[in-house]
Amino acid sequence: MTASAVIDPTWTALLYLVAAVCFILALKGLSSPKHARRGNAVGALGAVVALVTVFLSSRLENIPWILGAIAVGAAIAAPVARRVKMTQMPQLVALFNGVGGGAAALVALLELPHAGGPDGGWMRLAIVFTLLIGAVSFAGSAVTFAKLQELMTTRPVTFLGLPVLMGAVLLAALIAAGAVVALPLSGTSATLAVVLLALGLVAGVLLVLPVGGADVPIVISLLNAFTGIAVAASGLVLGNVLLVVAGTLVGASGTILTRLMAAAMGRSVTHIMFGAFQGGSTAGSTSVSDRPVRSSNAEDVAVLLGYAQKVIIVPGYGLAVAQGQHTAAELAQALEARGIDVEFAIHPVAGRMPGHMNVLLAEANVPYESLKEMSEINGEFRQTDVALVVGANDVVNPAAKSTPGSPIYGMPILEVGDARQVVFLKRSMRPGFAGIENELLYEPQTTLLFGDAKDSLAKVLTAVKAL
């Protein structure tokens, strides 16, 4: 079954322009929690416009198969996206990102037989580029998913000869790519293209294996940029301007985000990707300290909070795991009802993806004005009576400033140690992903309340209301 074009090229270009503008406005909206939902809707509208335009402007074949594939994909993706927990959102992003890269690679492979003619060399160049980058993104995203889902160790995975193997794989990939571009179309070039795809998959796995668990969100962002570049290159292969524009936007934004996240951790992207070879990448830890700390109960913590003038709440991944954001919001409201100034301090890499804490707290209807980024709130800790740290560790660990050689040394942190009193809500003394102790836990102004973050917050909330 073949569908003929319904609209002419002028209307096609105009609709593609509308879709491209929607994508740009979506990125702008996503830059702020206040406008993120609207930005997401605008981006979805752009995708719908683009999809409809393809159907109206192209002479498509196999329409039933195309519609069937769309239906199957929607039937799988919609329930998964609706049911996924916020703590599992990074895994979902990794999967979606990997699927995009894999799709671009498969499209390029299928277009190889059509890359003949006078411009065939340039087209084959775009094809091999898309094959390699798309395959790296797909396989790397699969490994990041496995690490975040704890299907494999979150520690850096290295072995003797890994750099040499990585170099050999990349060299073989370049040779295969050069052969596909240089040789005329034949069964040999098709076979080499498949080999290139396989080498890209291996390279993607080897690229991500040495990365420690705390750095995986940054790698997801980097692979997202790879996928955008692959999609842009596939747009060149297909002669589709909108794919070039959309892929370039994703590639550019992913690159910028990667650099910003790396800067927030005080390290270069190169160090994050290859630091494990020098023993400097962050890694998960299972060790638990037995050093004495000052612990307390919910009632004592409630007294500290209830009679303070200013409280700063520092959310972390533990809050997300416990799904305690609504209880944290209720506690903030109860304190504000007593005339206490309450703010939330957001570290750029708190949680497991950029904006994780912002989205989590926005879901609990915490006012956007109460969410303060690290750069604007760090100076306020000195005037803070109580800093309440809920499930965060590495982002407040003073070792980032005081311990050269530490996995997090140089990473900007939230200066909670400057507050008059610090209360940590922790499940145990197990360290964060960096695998190092937090000396702030042993300071005289620090109190620990052990237990599930949501349960502890609920007990503190009840005690505050009873004051």
Separation of alpha carbons 193 and 179, rounded Å: 9
- How far the first Cα of the chain sits from its last, in Å, is 73
Separation of alpha carbons 437 and 407, rounded Å: 11
3-state secondary structure the chain: CEECCCCCHHHHHHHHHHHHHHHHHHHHHHCCCCCHHHHHHHHHHHHHHHHHHHHHHCCEECHHHHHHHHHHHHHHHHHHHHHCCHHHHHHHHHHHHHHHHHHHHHHHHHHHHHCCCCCHHHHHHHHHHHHHHHHHHHHHHHHHHHHHCCCCCCCCCCCCCHHHHHHHHHHHHHHHHHHHHHCCCCHHHHHHHHHHHHHHHHHHHHHHCCCCHHHHHHHHHHHHHHHHHHHHHHHHHHCCHHHHHHHHHHHHHHHHHHHHHHHHCCCCHHHHHHHHHHCCCCCCCCCCCCCCCCECCHHHHHHHHHCCCEEEEEECHHHHHHCCHHHHHHHHHHHHHCCCEEEEEECCCCCCCCCHHHHHHHHCCCCHHHEEEHHHHHHHHHHCCEEEEECCCHHHCCHHHHCCCCCCCCCCCCCHHHCCEEEEEECCCCCCCCCCCCHHHHCCCEEEEECCHHHHHHHHHHHHHCC
Separation of alpha carbons 49 and 32, rounded Å: 24
Catalytic residue among 119, 215, 385, 394: 394
| 394 among known catalytic residues | yes
- Which among 197, 242, 309, 325 is positioned nearest to 19, based on CA atoms? 242
Distances (CA, A) of 85 to 34, 36, 149, 329, 377: 21, 18, 12, 18, 29
Separation of alpha carbons 212 and 422, rounded Å: 29
Which amino acid is located at 358 in the chain? N
Which amino acid is located at 216 in the chain? V
Catalytic site residues? 394
